[in-house]
Amino acid sequence: MSYWGKKYVLGGEFIIVKILAVLPDFIPTEPVKQMVSQVLPDMAVVSSLDFEKNEAEVLVATTFHRLGRKELSKFPNLKYIQIASTGYDNVDLEYVKEKGIMLCNIPVANKQSVAEHVIAFILAFLKDLIFLNSELKERHNWPILTGSRDLEGKVVGIIGMGAIGREVARRLLPFGVSMIYHDVTRLEEEEEERMGLTYVELDELISSSDIVTVHVPLTERTKGMFNSNVFSKMKDGAIFINTARGEIVDEKALIDAVKKKGIRAGIDVYPNEPPDFTSELFRLDNVICSPHIAGVTIESQQRFLMETVSNVMRYVQGLEPLYRVLV
């Protein structure tokens, strides 16, 4: 059921490694097997963890399967988990630490895809595209004037300056915007200058930005960080974009901010997915929604697959894998 690979260890000895990949059921397993057959010819690929026990030492998974204590305990020999995604909040980090399991993610494969999605949100709002499309197609109206605005000269606040945050900044630079950012770790001054970034405290970013885009992981610290108090400090009519994790935002507080302050929100992630479609969020004109797909393009999925396979091969060959998560 699992791929039997050879791992090189000190002293020139080879040991056997078993690998199992679990994919969401909407991804056909056979095409994936064929794509990786040359490097991992017998790797087992399944779509469910509905079994009692598996002898795999390497587990490849996405964020679509919960890897809690119950699920991970089915793998008594597990030594390495490769998450084929930027996020890994589906993994029980306490269990991983307790068992000494190595955990790696792929934080770079979709950075350009998410960054482009963020810019698409921004331009859709600034250029009034939803309203104009509706006027022509639904009302057969021909507006002479609109509230369309230029991106140039706007203040963009980026919260979280990891791989995706940096990619957003890099792609926004040619638009002539002013970019401020906040992160728990400040960049080196030379890098700030090169990227056109100015570091500010979070409160200043929230109150000064015309556009706020969030790129932080979901942690106990960031859960619910965008509450009514934070939204109250934003400029009226500012643009708020969340392509990170839904739990970072208090949905009720966001709805109130859209209604009372004219906040325009581009939302790609939700606390529960699929979300509760009866929520008022989906009836607000100033909100554009997408189905947690910002980082999902044909190109990004190819990069994820290549990076994932490459990292697993590094481990199997006795090399230190990339993007290790410190737990």
Residue 225 Rama label (left phi>0; alpha psi -120 to 50; beta): alpha
Choose, from 245, 247, 251, 307, the residue flagged as catalytic: 245
To the query of whether residue 117 is one of the catalytic residues in this protein, the response is no
72-88 pLDDT, tens digit each: 999 999 999 999 998 89
Choose, from 98, 193, 273, 280, the residue flagged as catalytic: 273
Choose, from 57, 251, 292, 307, the residue flagged as catalytic: 292
* CATH class for the region spanning 3-109+298-316: alpha beta
To the query of whether residue 273 is one of the catalytic residues in this protein, the response is yes
Peptide bond into 31 cis (omega under 30): no
Give residues with Cβ within 8 angstroms of 60, minimum separation 6.
Answer: 19, 20, 21, 22, 81, 82, 84, 308, 312
Domain boundaries, the chain: 3-109+298-316, 111-289
Query: pTM for the complete prediction?
Result: 0.87
169-220 pLDDT, tens digit each: 999 999 999 999 999 999 999 999 999 999 999 999 999 999 999 999 999 9
73-126 pLDDT, tens digit each: 999 999 999 999 988 999 999 999 999 999 999 999 999 999 999 999 999 999
Is the C-alpha dihedral spanning 107, 108, 111, 113 positive or negative?
negative
**For residue 3, is pLDDT > 50?**
no
The amino acid occupying position 13 is E
pLDDT of residue 2: 43
209-227 pLDDT, tens digit each: 999 999 999 999 999 999 9
What DSSP character marks residue 186?
Answer: P
To the query of whether residue 152 is one of the catalytic residues in this protein, the response is no
Same fold? 3-109+298-316, 111-289: yes
| Angle between helix 29-36 and helix 298-316 axes, rounded to 10 deg | 60
For the structural domain made of 111-289, what CATH number should be given? 3.40.50.720
**For residue 9, is pLDDT > 70?**
no
